[in-house]
Amino acid sequence: MVSGNEVRGRDKNDTGIMKTMTETERLIGGAFIGAVILYMLTSNLNSFLGVTYPAIFYLGIGAVVGAILVKFANI
């Protein structure tokens, strides 16, 4: 019988909050969280700087940053 960890394709000793998820699911989750956080931060900056970029611009950058953090920080 194959254990649950092997079915999910994860290491038994893997540490982290999202250890029940596969790598792909964690990257998607990190991208989503990063996009939301960066959008919240930059929505305040827009009025301050007087320059407005479309929301998708911030969501895209946040997604990349979030995915990189999850990949290398092993959150």
Stated pTM of the model: 0.45
Domain membership of residue 2 (yes or no) is no
Boundaries of domain holding 30: 19-73
Domain membership of residue 8 (yes or no) is no
Domain membership of residue 7 (yes or no) is no
Contact partners, residue 36, CB within 8 Å, separation at least 6: 62
Label residue 59 by pLDDT band (50, 70, 90). confident
Of residues 50 and 34, more confidently modeled: 34
Residue pair 19/27 in contact (Cβ under 8 Å)? The answer is no
Give the pLDDT confidence of 8-38 residue by residue, as tens digits.
555 565 566 555 667 777 777 777 877 777 7
Confidence at residue 27, expressed as pLDDT on a 0 to 100 scale? 76
User: Residue 68 above 70 pLDDT?
Assistant: yes
- As to burial, measured by CB atoms within 10 angstroms (0-12 exposed, 13-18 middle, 19+ buried), residue 7 is exposed
Contact partners, residue 22, CB within 8 Å, separation at least 6: 8, 9, 10
